[in-house]
């Protein structure tokens, strides 16, 4: 009993000191929590961190509680040590020592990152003001990348400013070196080494990305310029109007040859510049794919011409058939469809896509179309055939009467000649 009493009497001061430490830690934690919450509200960070008042309040309270917990953690090793729980206090001491050792690194990384954000923000605003002053947004309309807004508020909400995009891009470029430096200061190799390597790779690719972007922009500008010039030239010659008249289709909202040719030219020019941009970026796979597409282009162009020719020929055949037989509108549409199918099969065969299948399908389409056309013409053209045959029969009867009259006239003339000869004798 004496040993227990002596041990208890010796432990009472440590227990009292430990409880005093705990009370002091809780009181100090509450004070720190309130200070953090007031500071956040004074800086209005709660409004910036949350989308509404409820979210902002919860975020502020969470940060205050985090400060409270960290304050308690600083006192816990001493409290457990006073209670004689060295097995718990020792790991906590190591953890707190490691955490305190990282505080200078965290502060250094935070200062570098804050400095980078400030500098990047200033550079972004300067670049945006410069690009706005240079009126770079006019390039969108010149390259055909801007749609006409239906209302001013819609234009303000949906339009993307090139000056704003350029400023944000420069913001990221300026911030990347500071981000790399901040990660290096932390010296958390398992995390920072892959991130630094990735950011370094991105930084090394920035010149190539800028060059490729300039190539794409140049391609868009040239494609827009040449495509519009070619479309205006073909329109001035009246090709689209004459073709639409021959096809009996409206020019507005219908087939416009000038527009189709201009779009094909734009696509080809942009394809060439895109492949060159892939080559600048070192994307060998996409470069090889683009080269294969360019090598395949002659066959694609010829197949496209076959399709265009089939569409034009089918439309003209439909027009002529309907003009000759007004009641054969369905047959005209069917004829146009048959011509389009034949042109499509020829295009597929030219591209080498399932040649055997295309040949079988071609024969089947021709045979079925011939039977369908014969049946439709036989059923729908009975009245026409009847009237035509009646006209032919009437014409033949009239020709027969004429021949009989001529025969009688000739016989009468011969008889008169015979009488004249007899009178002379």
Q: Is 150 helix (H, G, I), strand (E, B) or coil?
A: coil
Say yes or no to pLDDT of 91 above 60.
yes
The answer to whether the CB of 29 falls within 8 A of the CB of 72 is yes
pLDDT tens, position by position, 358-402: 566 666 666 666 665 565 555 555 565 566 667 766 766 766 677
Supply 402's token pair: 């004429």
Q: Cα separation of 279 and 287, whole Å? A: 6
**Bigger pLDDT: 388 vs 417:** 417
Cα within 13 Å of Cα(148), Cβ side: 1
The answer to whether the CB of 332 falls within 8 A of the CB of 346 is no
Q: What is the CA radius of gyration of the chain?
A: 45
Burial of residue 376 (CB within 10 Å: 0-12, 13-18, 19+) is: middle
The answer to whether the CB of 15 falls within 8 A of the CB of 80 is no
| Of 327, 321, 314, 316, nearest in space to 382 by CA | 327
Residue with tokens 């090598």: 295
Mean pLDDT, the chain, whole residue set: 74
**Bigger pLDDT: 247 vs 349:** 349
Say yes or no to pLDDT of 355 above 70.
no
**Bigger pLDDT: 49 vs 274:** 274
Q: Is 83 helix (H, G, I), strand (E, B) or coil?
A: coil
In Å, what is the CA distance from 33 to each residue of 22, 27, 28, 39, 63? 16, 10, 8, 10, 8
Decide: pTM greater than 0.85: no
Supply 377's token pair: 């013409």
Q: Cα separation of 178 and 193, whole Å? A: 15
Q: Of the ranges 66-75, 244-253, 372-381, which is most confident?
A: 66-75
pLDDT at 119: 92
Supply 276's token pair: 């060159």
**Bigger pLDDT: 255 vs 298:** 298
Supply 269's token pair: 């020019």
Say yes or no to pLDDT of 287 above 60.
yes
**Bigger pLDDT: 109 vs 244:** 109
304-312: average pLDDT: 80
| Confidence bin at 246 (pLDDT 50/70/90) | low
Q: What angle do CA 365, 369, 374 make, to 5 degrees?
A: 155
pLDDT at 80: 74
pLDDT at 155: 43
pLDDT at 362: 62
| Confidence bin at 290 (pLDDT 50/70/90) | confident
Q: In degrees rounded to 5, what are phi and psi of residue 313?
A: -65, -40
Supply 223's token pair: 């494609």
Supply 359's token pair: 């040949």
pLDDT tens, position by position, 102-133: 778 888 888 888 898 889 899 888 988 888 88
Q: In degrees rounded to 5, what are phi and psi of residue 347?
A: -65, -45
pLDDT tens, position by position, 146-194: 544 444 444 444 566 778 888 888 888 888 888 888 888 877 777 777 8
Characterise 135 by phi-psi region: left (phi > 0), alpha (psi -120 to 50), beta (else): left
| Confidence bin at 98 (pLDDT 50/70/90) | confident
pLDDT at 235: 79
pLDDT at 183: 80
The answer to whether the CB of 288 falls within 8 A of the CB of 321 is no
**Bigger pLDDT: 254 vs 411:** 411
pLDDT at 153: 44
In Å, what is the CA distance from 390 to each residue of 249, 378, 384, 398? 36, 17, 10, 12
Angle of helix 162-186 relative to helix 189-237, nearest 10 degrees, comes to 160
Which of 51-65, 144-158, 205-219, 300-314 has the lowest average pLDDT?
A: 144-158
275-279: average pLDDT: 90
135-156: average pLDDT: 54
225-253: average pLDDT: 72
**Bigger pLDDT: 265 vs 150:** 265
**Bigger pLDDT: 305 vs 6:** 305
| Confidence bin at 273 (pLDDT 50/70/90) | very high
Supply 395's token pair: 């014409």
| Of 109, 245, 243, 78, nearest in space to 186 by CA | 109
61-73: average pLDDT: 82
Q: Of the ranges 10-14, 53-57, 204-208, which is most confident?
A: 204-208
Task: Give the residue extent of every domain in the chain.
Answer: 1-84
Burial of residue 256 (CB within 10 Å: 0-12, 13-18, 19+) is: buried
Supply 99's token pair: 């955490």
286-312: average pLDDT: 83
**Bigger pLDDT: 145 vs 309:** 309
């Amino acid at each position: 009993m004496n040993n227990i009493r002596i041990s208890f009497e010796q432990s009472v001061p440590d227990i009292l000191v430990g409880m005093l430490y705990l009370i002091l830690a809780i009181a100090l934690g509450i004070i720190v929590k309130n200070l953090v919450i007031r500071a956040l509200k004074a800086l209005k960070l709660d409004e910036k961190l949350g989308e509404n008042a409820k979210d902002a309040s919860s975020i502020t309270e969470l940060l205050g509680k985090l400060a409270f917990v960290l304050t308690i953690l600083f006192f816990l090793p001493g409290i457990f040590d006073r209670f004689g729980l060295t097995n718990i206090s020792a790991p906590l001491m190591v953890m707190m020592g490691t955490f305190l050792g990282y505080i200078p690194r965290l502060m250094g990384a935070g200062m570098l990152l804050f400095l980078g954000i400030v500098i990047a923000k200033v550079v972004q605003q300067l670049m945006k003001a410069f690009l706005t002053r240079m009126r770079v947004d006019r390039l969108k309309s010149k390259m055909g990348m801007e749609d006409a807004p239906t209302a001013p508020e819609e234009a303000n909400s949906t339009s993307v400013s090139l000056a704003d995009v350029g400023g944000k891009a420069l913001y990221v470029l300026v911030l990347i070196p500071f981000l790399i430096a901040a990660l290096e200061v932390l010296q958390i190799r398992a995390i920072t080494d892959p991130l630094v390597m990735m950011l370094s790779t991105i930084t090394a690719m920035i010149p190539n990305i800028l060059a490729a972007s300039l190539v794409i922009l140049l391609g868009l500008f040239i494609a827009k310029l040449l495509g519009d010039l070619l479309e205006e030239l073909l329109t001035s010659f009246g090709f689209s109007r004459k073709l639409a008249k021959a096809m009996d289709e409206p020019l507005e909202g219908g087939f416009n040859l000038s527009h189709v040719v201009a779009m094909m030219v734009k696509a080809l020019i942009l394809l060439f510049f895109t492949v060159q941009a892939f080559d600048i970026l070192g994307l060998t796979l996409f470069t090889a794919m683009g080269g294969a597409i360019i090598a395949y282009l002659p066959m694609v162009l010829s197949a496209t011409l076959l399709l265009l020719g089939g569409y034009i020929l089918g439309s003209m055949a439909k027009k002529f058939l309907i003009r000759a037989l007004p009641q054969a509108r369905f047959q005209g549409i069917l004829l146009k469809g048959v011509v389009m199918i034949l042109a499509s099969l020829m295009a597929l065969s030219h591209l080498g896509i399932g040649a055997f299948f295309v040949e079988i399908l071609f024969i089947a389409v021709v045979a079925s179309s011939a039977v369908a056309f014969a049946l439709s013409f036989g059923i729908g053209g009975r009245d026409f055939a009847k009237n035509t045959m009646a006209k032919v029969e009437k014409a033949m009867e009239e020709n027969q009467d004429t021949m009989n009259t001529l025969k009688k006239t000739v016989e009468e003339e011969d008889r008169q000649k015979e009488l004249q000869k007899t009178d002379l004798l």
